Chain A
């Protein structure tokens, strides 16, 4: 089945630094989403991208839907301790219109104050 390759798997950064993570696939996706998951909780939607080339911001977060529709990246600027958590990319496969999402393996972010 379709898979999303997310990198890096983990990041250890200093507070105030910028962070970048990305997601790639060998298949086309119609929609890209970025989620954050805190320990013991379900994922929470951060940003949704609906068309190729789209660049969207949500506060200190910026995400882009790749032109080829096979990749996306998420940037976090000026990281703060509450940014700690696991970030997942997710995509809607091109063959599926029903709401199913494919998730990446996650990027675990640690922020040192």
Chain B
């Protein structure tokens, strides 16, 4: 089966600019996650969707980050405006349920 697709793979922006990331989960996977992985650290959950509803967004900096999952399939994560500390890899993962997460390859964001 096809894996979790993410784009772009890399993005360099200046601080205060906006950026958006896209994720296409594995077909049929109802649960979708966005994780932030800062260099040298483990991934940290930003937001979890069940179909098109938000299950957990307690660690999403809502003043600048937003995410949506229209029609319960693809998802976009947006940062507006970006700060230097947002430089990280943004990982999307999906699952049918349980712990069978499949991660995408991530988008590496550099904010300069």
A residues in contact with B95, CB < 8 Å: 99
The answer, among B41, B42, B43, B105, for a CB contact under 8 Å with A41, is B105
Tell me which of A42, A45, A98 has the highest count of chain B C-beta atoms within 10 A of its own C-beta.
A42
Taking a contact as CB atoms under 8 Å apart, the answer to whether A42 and B91 are in contact is: yes
Taking a contact as CB atoms under 8 Å apart, the answer to whether B44 and A103 are in contact is: yes
Chain B residues within 8 Å of chain A by Cβ, number: 25
Interface residues of B (CB under 8 A from A): 4, 31, 33, 40-45, 48, 50, 55-56, 91, 93, 95, 97-101, 103-106
Interface residues of A (CB under 8 A from B): 4, 6, 31, 33, 40-45, 48, 88, 90, 92, 96, 98-101, 103-106
Taking a contact as CB atoms under 8 Å apart, the answer to whether B42 and A106 are in contact is: yes
- Chain A contact surface mostly: loop
A residues in contact with B41, CB < 8 Å: 103, 105-106
Taking a contact as CB atoms under 8 Å apart, the answer to whether A99 and B105 are in contact is: no
Taking a contact as CB atoms under 8 Å apart, the answer to whether A43 and B55 are in contact is: no
Residue pairs across A and B with Cβ atoms less than 8 A apart, 13 shown, are A31-B99, A40-B106, A42-B104, A42-B105, A88-B42, A90-B42, A96-B56, A98-B56, A99-B31, A100-B56, A101-B43, A103-B44, A105-B40
The answer, among B4, B31, B33, B99, for a CB contact under 8 Å with A33, is B99
B residues in contact with A40, CB < 8 Å: 105-106
Taking a contact as CB atoms under 8 Å apart, the answer to whether A101 and B56 are in contact is: no
- Complex Cα spacing A103 to B31, Å: 18
Taking a contact as CB atoms under 8 Å apart, the answer to whether B55 and A98 are in contact is: yes
Taking a contact as CB atoms under 8 Å apart, the answer to whether B99 and A45 are in contact is: yes
Taking a contact as CB atoms under 8 Å apart, the answer to whether A44 and B103 are in contact is: yes
With A42-B93, A88-B42, A90-B42 as given contacts, are A101 and B55 in contact (CB-CB < 8 Å)?
no
Taking a contact as CB atoms under 8 Å apart, the answer to whether B48 and A103 are in contact is: no
- Complex Cα spacing A98 to B42, Å: 19
A residues in contact with B99, CB < 8 Å: 31, 33, 45, 48, 92, 99, 101
B residues in contact with A99, CB < 8 Å: 31, 33, 48, 55, 95, 97-99
